[in-house]
């Protein structure tokens, strides 16, 4: 199956800019940004981020406040803080052998950077890769990592896969099956996540949010600092 997949990828791969680099920092930024965020939204933000902080050392020198401000619009602000902490760790100690030693870096992100930047023979398994392996029953090598991600994002979709255009369909035992809707995250509108986001925007604008519960939650995550009644961004 892998040969069929790679032939398809050669024709239909998505032109994602981070695929043109082996810079582990640039790839780490792309992977962190792409967590729970549509890739189309990530591309311009990734480019802008690297224009502002082109190296891991440049990001490490930045203030947490500037990093949080630049991240606005991507959601899940803890990712920005963890990326900043990871940059400071790397600037001080270099890239660790086990990339999960970096703040906020889990198994998938570590394997993605190891594979795409350092050329290690490891297959990063995200939800797309896992879904394709489960449906096909096939095994794939690290050489097929990007192809698997593209297939899962565009063809082998979670609920209604596009089997009619899938390069693996003829050999896939799951061909033609539809799946129950996956449980989705609750709506953002009216949620506590929205309250946190609003409170953080108010702090970024120099204000003092009235939502003490949201502020306390932000402070717990290190996204704001509390000094009596004063709320500020971390340094």
Residue 46 lies in a domain: yes
The DSSP secondary structure of 61-103, one letter per residue, reads: HS-HHHHHHHHTTSS-THHHHHHHHHHHHHHHH---SSGGGST
Residue 121 lies in a domain: no
Residue 1 lies in a domain: no
pLDDT computed for residue 120 by the predictor: 97
101 with 50, same domain?
Answer: yes
82 with 112, same domain?
Answer: yes
Residue 180 lies in a domain: no
Residues pairing with 230 in the sheet: 227
145 with 85, same domain?
Answer: no
Domain that holds residue 209: 192-232
**227-233 long-range contacts, Cβ below 8 Å, gap at least 24?**
231/203, 232/203, 233/63, 233/64, 233/65, 233/68, 233/69, 233/203, 233/204
86 with 145, same domain?
Answer: no
Query: Which residues are identified as catalytic?
Result: 31
167 with 82, same domain?
Answer: no
80 with 107, same domain?
Answer: yes
**Comparing C-alpha atoms, which of 229, 16, 226 is closest to residue 116?**
16
Domain count, the chain: 3
Residue 57 lies in a domain: yes
Question: 205 CB contacts (<8 Å, ≥6 apart)?
Answer: none
101 with 158, same domain?
Answer: no
148 with 99, same domain?
Answer: no
pLDDT in tens, the chain (235 residues): 999 999 999 999 999 999 999 999 999 999 999 998 999 999 999 999 999 999 999 999 999 999 999 999 998 899 999 999 999 999 999 999 999 999 999 999 999 999 999 999 999 999 999 999 999 999 999 999 999 999 999 999 999 999 999 999 999 999 998 887 656 666 777 788 888 988 898 988 888 888 889 888 998 888 998 887 788 888 8
31 with 94, same domain?
Answer: yes
Residue 178 lies in a domain: no
pLDDT computed for residue 172 by the predictor: 96
pLDDT computed for residue 183 by the predictor: 60
218 with 135, same domain?
Answer: no
Residue 12 lies in a domain: no
Residue 11 lies in a domain: no
Question: Rounded to whole angstroms, how far apart are CA atoms 152 and 174?
Answer: 14
Question: Rounded to whole angstroms, how far apart are CA atoms 204 and 99?
Answer: 31
Question: Where among 116, 141, 157 does a domain terminate?
Answer: 116
82 with 49, same domain?
Answer: yes
Residue with tokens 């990063």: 124
Q: Would you call 58 helix, strand, or coil by DSSP?
A: helix
Could you tell me the CATH number of the domain that includes residue 102?
1.10.340.30
């Amino acid at each position: 199956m892998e040969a069929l997949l790679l032939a398809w990828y050669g024709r239909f791969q998505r032109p994602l800019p981070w695929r043109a680099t082996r810079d582990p920092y640039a790839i780490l930024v792309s992977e962190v940004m792409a967590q729970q965020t549509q890739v189309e939204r990530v591309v311009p933000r990734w480019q802008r981020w690297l224009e502002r902080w082109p190296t891991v050392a440049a990001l490490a020198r930045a203030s947490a406040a500037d990093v949080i401000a630049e991240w606005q619009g991507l959601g899940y602000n803890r990712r920005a803080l963890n990326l900043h902490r990871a940059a400071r760790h790397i600037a001080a100690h270099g890239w660790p052998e086990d990339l999960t030693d970096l703040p906020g870096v889990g198994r998938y992100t570590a394997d993605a950077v190891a594979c795409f930047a350092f050329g290690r023979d490891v297959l990063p398994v995200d939800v797309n890769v896992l879904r394709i392996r489960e449906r096909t029953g096939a095994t794939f090598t690290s050489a097929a990592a990007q192809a698997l991600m593209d297939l899962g994002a565009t063809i082998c979709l979670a609920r209604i896969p596009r089997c009619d255009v899938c390069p693996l369909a003829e050999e896939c035992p799951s061909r033609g099956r539809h799946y129950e809707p996956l449980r989705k995250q609750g709506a953002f509108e009216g949620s506590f996540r929205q309250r946190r986001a609003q409170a953080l925007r108010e702090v970024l604008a120099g204000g003092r949010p009235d939502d003490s519960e949201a502020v306390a939650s932000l402070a717990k995550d290190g996204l704001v600092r509390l000094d009596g009644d004063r709320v500020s961004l971390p340094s």
